[in-house]
Amino acid sequence: MYEVIIHELAQETLKKLFLRDRKSFDKISISLDGLAKKGLKLSGIKRLSSANKIFRKRVGRFRILFTVNAKTFHIWIIAIEKDRKKDYKVWIKYITS
């Protein structure tokens, strides 16, 4: 079992989704539970930056960006993103700063 820590920006997004889009909120919650249980073996995970160990999990139109330390997942961002390098560069810069 892994620990999942949801940072401030991701918490704000989850709060908004809970109020406005319950279906997406439920899907993301299930994915976060999956991360806690299966870790990186969960399907749909892609490494974005090998140097900083940043990964993304795709959940419908949303992307969950996170880092991993031993048995802890740090969820930094939950956002609607396109899968393009330039879109992720902004988020990677945010996570690493």
Residue 62 DSSP one-character state: E
Please give the model's pTM, rounded to 2 decimal places.
Answer: 0.88
pLDDT tens-place values along the chain, 97 residues long: 899 999 999 999 999 999 999 999 999 999 999 999 999 999 999 998 766 789 999 998 899 999 998 889 999 999 887 667 777 888 888 888 7
| DSSP calls for 18-86 | HHH-HHHHHHHHHHHHHHHHHGGGSTTEEEEETTTTEEEEEETTEEEEEEEETTEEEEEEEEE--S-HH
Write down the CATH number for the domain with range 3-96.
3.30.2310.20
The per-residue pLDDT for 51 is 67
pLDDT of residue 96: 84
Provide the pLDDT for residue 16.
Answer: 95
Q: Which pair of structure tokens corresponds to residue 75?
A: 């969820």
